[in-house]
Chains A and B, each alone.
Chain A
């Protein structure tokens, strides 16, 4: 269970939003600039200097952020995995070394096994020895996902992580990922501005507009008007 009340100022942008996510998979939906990335970064423990007043985040009843009580758990100690829109792979390390970066505490054999398993999961096993500058955008996003999953986080935050993958590849990867998070009991919050992505996830949706919660509930309800608009466009095509 992820619960939060956030009040943050970033320049002239004001995010004021509260939520209680209990579903396995929750989608943050909203147009560009709605505050999706800001919200995910605050949940991950970044940019805490932007928080004001009563802001707080708890995950499985453990306080991660509480401004009033001065609680700020460091990003590394939140058991969170995050994949941003830009894969941010370490450029001087191979894909395998990128995935292994967060596994320092494991012994060498377990680490190698986990890296192989993760690259296999995201369909990037053959990329293990390549450096990021030799990867396409989609391949880099796969490796970034493997890197985030490797330490087996409890909460996974995805910020439009498949934007560089084509529809079919993206659907396939999403299916594999959903099976994996379900098996490993990982709660996921995924941000998207693509209505078909949000609907296909069949999850709970938090609709964000200009830093405020516009709606929250099952995808079919929250995105009914967006769905109708999409169908209308497809019908007129």
Chain B
């Protein structure tokens, strides 16, 4: 049972991280380059960044509830999606992906915005003068210059998805093989006083987290050693 939940959690976190990076890289680049290219529109960029950060302060159960209602049969949007996919998004793996992407969005966007913004403006100016489009600047200047932020964003988004509970429970319920992730399994095991199983599940979650953080810090150390050399 742990392994089923383990692989489901890994699948959810992998798919979520891939979608998050694909969405967060252009958005973060737009926020950083947009501020440099159109300083007069700074207010708009602040508003979009605030919106992208909202899931950090919103209780996960509240977010899960909003999504449950939005994606369920009560709204036209939910009914439209259900008609399009042939099944409702709520209480399905796809629904969990949607919830996870929204819930972990700030954890991918924030490191990327910080990493992109740390790239000297003189480099952005040089690229602009040489005719680089924003997309080319993102791919040839921002992404290579903020590789560590990219790794941090990926690992944080992955771990945050692995550990999420409130959104999963509200939006996905507890369906084995479909929406029962490791954290839901752990909750069930504790509720059933099966502490031996709960210890195993916790050990898996703990190992995943330590490995991922070790990856970030080992990269940071290698980079530090290189820059000292």
Interface on A for B, CB 8 Å cutoff?
A: 44, 46, 49, 74-76, 80-82, 84, 86, 88-92, 101-102, 104, 147-148, 151
The answer to whether the Cβ of B131 comes within 8 Å of any Cβ in the partner chain is yes
Instruction: Please indicate which of the listed interface residues B40, B128, B129, B140 has the most CB atoms of chain A within 10 Å of its own CB.
Output: B129
Convert B107-136 into 0s and 1s, putting 1 for each residue whose CB lies closer than 8 angstroms to a CB of A: 000000000000010110111111110001
Distance in Å from the Cβ of B134 to the closest Cβ of chain A?
Answer: 11
B128–A76 touching, CB < 8 Å? yes
Interchain CA distance A1-B125 in the complex, whole Å? 24
A-B contact pairs, 20 of them (CB 8 A): A44-B129, A46-B128, A49-B39, A74-B128, A75-B128, A75-B129, A76-B129, A76-B130, A76-B131, A80-B129, A84-B122, A88-B120, A88-B125, A90-B127, A90-B141, A91-B123, A101-B130, A101-B140, A102-B130, A148-B129
B122–A147 touching, CB < 8 Å? no
Chain A residue at minimum C-beta to C-beta distance from B144: A92
Chain B residue at minimum C-beta to C-beta distance from A82: B129
Distance in Å from the Cβ of A51 to the closest Cβ of chain B?
Answer: 12
Interchain CA distance A80-B125 in the complex, whole Å? 12
The answer to whether the Cβ of B88 comes within 8 Å of any Cβ in the partner chain is no
The answer to whether the Cβ of B145 comes within 8 Å of any Cβ in the partner chain is yes
A88–B128 touching, CB < 8 Å? no
Chain A residue at minimum C-beta to C-beta distance from B120: A88
B interface bracket (residues with beta carbon within 8 Å of A): 10 to 19
Distance in Å from the Cβ of B211 to the closest Cβ of chain A?
Answer: 28
Instruction: Please indicate which of the listed interface residues B39, B120, B126, B140 has the most CB atoms of chain A within 10 Å of its own CB.
Output: B126
Contacting B126 at CB < 8 Å: which of A88, A92, A151?
Answer: A88
Residues of chain B lying within 8 A (CB to CB) of residue A90? 123, 126-127, 140-141
Interchain CA distance A84-B40 in the complex, whole Å? 25
A151–B131 touching, CB < 8 Å? yes
Chain A residue at minimum C-beta to C-beta distance from B39: A49
Interchain CA distance A148-B127 in the complex, whole Å? 11
